[in-house]
Structure 1
Amino acid sequence: MELATEFVESLGWDNVLFDSSHDKCYCNNCYPTTCANVTDAGGQIYVIPRGWARIGLHVDTVTVGLNDIWNKWIVTFHGTTVNAAESILRHRQFCLPGDILINGNQLGICDGHIPNKNHIYTSPTIAYSSLPMYSKKCDFTSLNDNCDYKVQIVLQCRQKPGSYRVQGETIRAGTTRLCPFIPNSEVEYFTEIRQSVVPYGLLVKLI
C-alpha cells in the first residue's frame, strides 16, 4: 500500500479527488488466500482485485444518497491510463467519444480500439480491465526503496444495474479463459449513460 500511495502522490493530483475511507490493499499479506475470491455487490458477483491496492476516491454524497450505490449498484472495473484517469476524475464523470472536454478538446477513441463505438466500457473482472491494451504500463521510480517499477492503474467503479449491455471479449482470446469466475462471453459491459458509472477507487499495481 505504501508504494501505491507514493506513486499516486507523485502524480501531483489535487487532494480533493481522494477519500482515504475507501483505501484497501489486496496484496497477499493484507488479503490472504484464505479470504474469498468473489463476493456479492449489488446482487451480482464481485471479483476481488487480488494483488492490487485501492486508493480511495471522493464520491459525490448526492449521488450516494439518491442512488444508494453502496448497496444497490454493482462493482465494475475500467482499465485506463494516468492521463485519462485524471481527466475522468476532474470531469466528475466518464465522457463519451465526441464530448468536448473542459480544456476545449474533443474526446476521441483511443488508438487500437474499435472505431465508431461511442460507449463507456467496463468489466466485472479486473482480469479483463487490466489487460495491456486497456491499462498501459508506466514507469515509476520509488524514492523510498530506489527501485524501478512498471505501474498499471484501473478505476474501480459502482455501476447501475440495467444501465449497460453485456458482450463477450473483443481481444480475440479464442479458447483462452480470461477470468476463472466470469465467462469470456460476459466480460465486457458497455453503456452510453455517463452518470451510471461512478469511480470510487484508483487501483494500482506495481511490478
Structure 2
Amino acid sequence: MDSVTAHRQDFGVNEREFFDPKYDFDFRDLSDSDSECEPGGETYKRPIGWNRIALKVWGKYEMSDWLGRGKKEWRNKSVKGEWPVAYHGTSIEGAKGILQQGFKIPEGSFVNGKKVKAVYGRGVYCPPDIDVAERDGYAKTFTSRKSGKTYKVALQGRINREYRQICVREDYWLIPVPKGTSAEKERDIVDKALRPYGILFKKIKG
C-alpha cells in the first residue's frame, strides 16, 4: 500500500466526499531551483520533502479564480483573482476536524507540548512557508495506523489577502478573529479567508 492511500484511510472518512486524487502531488524529490511562482502576488515556496493528498474543493466554494482556474500544470505566473498559498500546521485529529467542521479558533496553542498564548493576536495562523509551521512545532507527528510509520502533518491552502494580516514577523500570517465573536461569525470569517485544498505529510527520518 502506498503512503498516500494509507493516509486517506488514516482519516476514517468518506474518501469520495473529501478527497480528489487527481490533484495529489509528491513534492518529496523536487527542487525549488527553477520554480519561481507568485500566486496572488506572493512568492510560493513549495513544500519540498512533503507529499500531498488533495481535498475536494470544486463545487464546495463559489466560482472564482482563487485557486488559479484549477490548472493542474505548473505555472510561473499568477492569474487574476488568484489567492496566495499558505500553510497551517496541525495534528491529524485537527486536520480531520477542519475537514469535517471547519476551523475552530483556540484561545491558545500547544507548541512542543506546552500551551502558549497567541503571539500576534487571536485567530488562525497560516505562514507562507511550510518550514515555519514545521520548525515552530505546529506540524504535529502521528503514526499511521495503516503503514506503522511516523509523519508530520499540515494543511496547504489559499488565503484571501483582504482578510490576511501580516504580523511583526513577516513569515507569520494571521486571519484575525476578535475575542467575543460568535462561533457562527468565526466560521464565516475563516471560511471567507482560508480555503484548504491539500493535506501534507512528511515522513520522520530515523
Give the corresponding residue for 1:137: 141
Give 1:27 deviation, angstroms. 1.5
TM (normalized to structure 2)?
0.74
- Counterpart Cα distance in 2 of 1:109 and 1:95: 11
TM (normalized to structure 1)?
0.73
CA RMSD of aligned residues (A): 2.4
Give the corresponding residue for 2:194: 197
1:62–1:201 CA distance, 2 compared to 1 (3 A): closer
Give the corresponding residue for 2:159: 159
Residues 87 and 157 of structure 2 are in contact (CA less than 8 Å); yes or no, is this contact kept in structure 1?
yes
Selected match of 2:116 from 89, 113, 117: 113
> Structure 2 matches for 1:9-88, cutoff 5 A?
9-15=9-15, 16-28=17-29, 31=30, 33=31, 36-61=34-59, 63-65=61-63, 67-71=64-68, 72-88=82-98
Unaligned runs of 5+ in 1: 98-107, 169-184
Identity percentage of aligned residues: 25
- Counterpart Cα distance in 1 of 2:47 and 2:124: 20
Unaligned runs of 5+ in 2: 69-81, 178-188
Task: State the Cα deviation string for residues 70-105 of structure 1 (Å, max 9, x = none).
Answer: 1311110000001111111101x32223xxxxxxxx
Give the corresponding residue for 1:94: 103
Bigger mean CA offset, 44-53 vs 34-43: 34-43
DSSP 3-state at the match of 1:204: strand
Give 1:161 deviation, angstroms. 1.4
- Counterpart Cα distance in 2 of 1:13 and 1:36: 37
Give 1:118 deviation, angstroms. 2.6
Residues 96 and 194 of structure 1 are in contact (CA less than 8 Å); yes or no, is this contact kept in structure 2?
no
Selected match of 1:187 from 147, 156, 171: 171
Task: State the Cα deviation string for residues 85-141 of structure 1 (Å, max 9, x = none).
Answer: 1111101x32223xxxxxxxxxx5333231594301100000001236201111236
Task: Give the letter for the 1:95 counterpart.
Answer: K
Give the corresponding residue for 1:126: 130
DSSP 3-state at the match of 2:48: coil
Count, aligned residues:
172
Runs of 4+ in 1 over 4 A off after TM superposition: none
- Counterpart Cα distance in 2 of 1:59 and 1:20: 12
